Chains A and B, each alone.
Chain A
Amino acid sequence: MGNFFLSKKQNVSELSTFYSFLIGFVIALMIGTIILIIQEKNPLETFSLMFRLSLGSVNSFTSSLNKAVPLILAGLGISIINSVKFWNIGAEGQIFFGAIAVNYIYINTQVTNSTMLIFVLLISGFVGGAICILIPAITKVFFGVNEIITTLLTNYIAIGITIYLINGPWKDPGSLNFPAAEYIGEEVYLPTIFGKLSFGFIVCITFTVIAFYLKNKSIFGYELRIAGGSELTAIYAGINAKQKAFIAMLIGGGFAGLAGGIELLGQTHRLSTGISQGFGYTAIIVAAITGMRPIGIFLVGCLFGALSIGGSVIQTVGVSTYIADIIQASTLMGALISQFFFNYEIKRKENA
């Protein structure tokens, strides 16, 4: 190796992220195939079953889109926070906190107009997510405490609080085997549009556009990029980097919290540990794989939503649901590896 060195390519195509995603996805499918063969399952049959059950009919296709909603919203939140080069590993907890906030406001509010109430509840979800990231945001921005660890730990805290609530103050006495809070009233269910597609998907599209605008077209997004760059540049530009970073973290947490609210109002209809099945972690993969681009997050989120639906239904034929997780994580790993070949070339030393 001594005679070689790495050189960063100058004009890397914008599409390289897309190509490396495709390569990563192929690698992941190969890894999935190997695992299925080891488990003595027919890979072709399993994959076609996954495909049919996630995209094959209007109902399954629209369920896949519903499943994409939390992945996309949490992924957008992660990408907004990443504008200032911070990480949010706490989307899982923020999803739970969003749902907790929605349930809290639902129990304690007197609003009778259901459209108005749904609107209020969705906002509460957003606020819940922002509350969840408040401590990591304050400690990171103002004291420099490692946000990767603090946001991650808030996941355990948020899920712990959820378990406390559904076994304690909010416990549904009718739910014996599976601890959960009482069902919300049908008047606040998110309406379905067609098939199984929930109104949550429309909210999701709206927020994708908002995130795209916020990150790429607005002054705030520009300020965020400066705040995430060098400290001096921010000072010269007259930008209060700490304030911008703090707001970005709260907004990012809010996006994930909104996802939790939508899950509660549109899917589970009651607070339980089933509000999120690792959506916050999958969202990290979705955000990272697209290079934190909102439109990419939307598309990959839809694909991964279908994968998750496919992964959960193949349990019925005895294939582990973790296959979907492994394919998602391997896609990112494969994409990272192929990114290297797009971004670097190996050169021989001239004087060697």
Chain B
Amino acid sequence: MLDIQLIGLLNATLQAATLLFIAALGELITEKSGILNLGVEGMIAIGAVSGFMTAINTENIYLAIIVGILSSAAFASIHALVTVLLKQDQTVSGLILTILGLALSSLMGKEYRGKKLNVKIESLSNNNEPSNFIEVLMSQNIVFYIALILMISVSYLLQNTLFGRRLQAVGEDSKAADSMGLKVNRTQFIATCIGGAFAGLSGVYLTLSYVPYWTDNMTSGRGWIALALVIFGGWKPYRTALGALLFGFLEALVPRLQTYGFDLNPYIVKITPYIITIFILVILTIYKGGRTGAPKNIGIPFFRENR
């Protein structure tokens, strides 16, 4: 038997980590192809609102998940169009995606603010009072397990398959990849949309399970923390997962500190995750001294003529 508070902490850690990890893993795939997408925050918001709207209207949770994933992937394709095909600045385009995504999701979700959700994502067991670690794991909903499967399969895909090797070749040296006959544009386009799809899944998890309701700007910086996680994880899936667990733990721990007897100001407590993110990024960058593991071609548009 574990302490009830510890169970709550564990549960909240896993949930917060799942949310961050899925979005970070998607961005990792996009960045591996050499495309930087700063629109994670906006893509999560689009997935979150479209999934929530579908769930309210159809009461079909699986349809809602699929709609959320597809809308974010479609939204990410704007970034792919502008940066991959039209070679425009990736930083600017990604930022627009964030601003546009937040505005568009607020516009779409206007009628859905405060509405109650009648369906929920299923779990393996319907145990509402888990008492040990295994039961906490079992009580997580299927998105948690999807995240685990994604972590293992993406890591395998990148390391052991032709697709993964080609993706990385494109991100490391697109000119060399092109002269080897790889389809650089196509690979980058697909990788960007996959990143969007992952952010969409993260978004539906936010509105259908983590919170679950819809309100404007509810992503509250999680997309940016996911971006920081990719750096933290050195562009490796397992390390990114570890980072997500750490950040999830902090997100879960900080609001609980007061119940543990620490006398903290709740308003100050709210900003600590952002301070800690900066702090960790700084420590990590200094420690690694430039050897971050970033794909070499990240942010640089690919031109056939430069060959």
Chain B residues whose C-beta falls within 8 Å of the C-beta of A149 in the assembled complex? 224, 227-228, 231, 277-278, 281
Say if the beta carbon of A279 comes within 8 Å of chain B: no
Interface stretch (choices B198-206, B233-241, B265-273): B265-273
User: When the two chains form the complex, which single residue of A5, A148, A323, A325 contacts B91, counting CB atoms closer than 8 Å?
Assistant: A148
CB distance from B253 to the nearest CB of A (A): 17
A333-B93 in contact (CB<8A): yes
The 8 A-B residue pairs whose C-beta atoms are closest, nearest first, are A160-B271, A164-B267, A325-B103, A340-B86, A5-B304, A329-B100, A322-B107, A336-B88
Please, which residues of chain B bring their CB within 8 A of the CB of A1?
A: 185
Q: A157-B271, A340-B86 are in contact. Are A322 and B277 (CB under 8 A)?
A: no
A333 adjacent to B78 (CB under 8 Å) = yes
Q: Are B221 and A156 in contact (CB under 8 A)?
A: yes
Residues of A within 8 A of B290 (CB): 144
A139 at the binding interface (Cβ < 8 Å): yes
Distance between Cα atoms of A288 and B90 in the complex (Å):
12
In the complex, the answer to whether B110 meets A143 with C-beta atoms within 8 Å is no
Per a CB cutoff under 8 Å, which of B38, B96, B103 touches A332? B96
Which single residue of chain A is at the shortest CB-CB distance from B284? A145
The residues of B that contact A148 with a CB separation of less than 8 Å are 38, 91
Q: Is B115 an interface residue (CB 8 A)?
A: no
Taking A5-B305, A145-B282, A336-B86 as contacts, is the C-beta distance between A161 and B271 under 8 angstroms? yes
Question: Does residue A285 face the partner (Cβ distance < 8 Å to B)?
Answer: yes
Q: For residue B286, which residues in chain A have a CB less than 8 angstroms away from its CB?
A: 143, 145
Residue of B with least CB distance to A330? B100
- CB–CB B92/A35 < 8 A: no
Assess the A153–B103 pair: CB atoms within 8 A. Answer: no
Determine if B267 and A160 form an interchain contact, defined as CB atoms under 8 angstroms apart.
yes
The answer to the question of A339 belonging to the interface, with a C-beta cut-off of 8 Å to chain B, is yes
Q: Which residues of chain B from 262 to 306 have any CB-CB distance to chain A below 8 Å in the complex?
A: 265, 267-268, 270-271, 274-275, 277-278, 281-282, 285-286, 290, 303-305
Interface membership of chain B positions 53-80, coded 1 if the CB is closer than 8 angstroms to chain A and 0 otherwise: 0000000000000000000000000100
Q: Is B106 close to A, CB under 8 A?
A: yes
Q: From residue 1 to 53 of chain A, which have CB atoms closer than 8 A to chain B? A: 1, 5-8, 35
Q: Is B86 a contact of A320 with CB atoms below 8 Å? A: no
Specify the main secondary structure of chain A where it touches its partner: helix
A168 and B267 contact, Cβ closer than 8 Å, known pairs A146-B231, A340-B86: yes
CB of B224 within 8 A of CB of A320, answer no
Considering the complex, give the chain B residue whose CB is closest to the CB of A340. Answer: B86
| A181 nearest CB across to chain B (Å) | 14
Chain A residues, Cβ within 8 Å of B278: 135-136, 139, 149-150, 153-154
Q: B85: shortest Cβ distance to chain A, in Å?
A: 8
Residues of A with Cβ closer than 8 Å to B? 1, 5-8, 35, 87, 89, 135-136, 139, 143-146, 148-150, 152-154, 156-157, 160-161, 163-164, 167-168, 281-282, 284-285, 288, 320, 322-323, 325-326, 328-330, 332-333, 336-337, 339-340, 344
Expressed in whole angstroms, the Cα–Cα distance for A156 and B258 within the complex equals 21
Can you spell out 15 A-B residue pairs with CB atoms less than 8 angstroms apart?
Answer: A5-B305, A6-B87, A135-B278, A139-B278, A139-B281, A139-B282, A144-B290, A145-B282, A161-B271, A164-B267, A282-B99, A322-B106, A325-B99, A329-B99, A333-B96
CB distance from B61 to the nearest CB of A (A): 26
Complex formed: what's the CA distance from A21 to B264 in Å? 49
B residues less than 8 Å from A329 (CB atoms): 96, 99-100, 103
Partner of B271 from the list A156, A330, A344 (CB cut-off 8 Å) is A156
Give the A-binding residues of B (Cβ under 8 A). Answer: 38, 78, 81-82, 86-89, 91-93, 95-96, 99-100, 102-104, 106-107, 110, 185, 220-221, 224, 227-228, 231, 265, 267-268, 270-271, 274-275, 277-278, 281-282, 285-286, 290, 303-305
B302 (CB) vs chain A CBs: closest residue: A6
CA distance A326 to B108 in the complex (A): 12
**Cβ-defined contact, B274 with A153, below 8 A:** yes
Selected from A35, A136, A339, the residue in CB contact (under 8 A) with B88 is: A339
Whether A285 lies near B99 (C-beta < 8 A) is yes
Do the beta carbons of A6 and B107 come within 8 Å of each other? no
In the bound complex, residues from chain B placing their C-beta under 8 Å from that of A135 are: 278
Chain B residues, Cβ within 8 Å of A8: 303, 305
Contact check: which of B91, B104, B220, B303 meets A326 at CB < 8 Å? B104
Contacts of A325 in B (CB 8 A): 99-100, 102-103
Residues on B with C-beta less than 8 A from A160 are: 267-268, 270-271, 274
Q: Which residue of B lies closest to A7 (CB)?
A: B305
Bound CA span A135–B38, Å:
21
- Shortest beta-carbon distance from B140 to chain A in Å: 27
| Distance of A87 Cα from B89 Cα, bound (Å) | 12
Question: Contact: A322 with B103, CB < 8 Å?
Answer: yes
Q: Are A145 and B274 within 8 A (Cβ)?
A: no
The answer to whether B86 touches A87, judged by C-beta atoms less than 8 angstroms apart, is no
Given A322-B106, A333-B78, decide whether A163 and B267 contact each other with a Cβ distance below 8 A: yes
Chain B residue at minimal CB-CB distance from A149? B228
